[in-house]
Amino acid sequence: MTTLSPEQIEDIRDTIGDNGGVEILTDAKLQAFYDAAVSDMTLTYVYALRRLWGLQRQVADRTTVHGDNERLSQIADRTKELLDYYEGQAGIYGGGSMLFAGVIDLDLDTDIDDTSIF
């Protein structure tokens, strides 16, 4: 597998919001997500966001370490929005941007009296 460059690691952290001074996910963990995603950066974001969101939900009612009034539950909600977006981009069911195919009803199974059209 390809090793992530420091620039790629920084890009992942910026994208998932793990850049607030105290990094939650280690560089090794980000590399493991990248390897599991077979070098697909969008899928790497999904794996990292899932882990980040799960960790944030565990402590959702505590205040942040940054000293502001924002609760971790609010941060976790924003992380979940990012997760939904990137799941959609990766084509994972349940993602916010995923396109779904529907059924078009053409009434082909309806019996029609052929003499009514003449």
Percent of the chain with pLDDT over 90: 47
Q: Which two tokens stand for residue 54?
A: 């799960």
pLDDT at position 99, please?
46
pTM of the predicted protein model? 0.68
In angstroms, rounded to a whole number, what is the distance separating the alpha carbons of residues 85 and 46? 9
DSSP 7-60: HHHHHHHHHHT--SSS-SS-HHHHHHHHHHTTT-HHHHHHHHHHHHHHHHHHTT
- Per-domain boundaries in the chain: 6-89
pLDDT at position 75, please?
82
Residues of the chain with pLDDT under 70: 60-70, 94-118
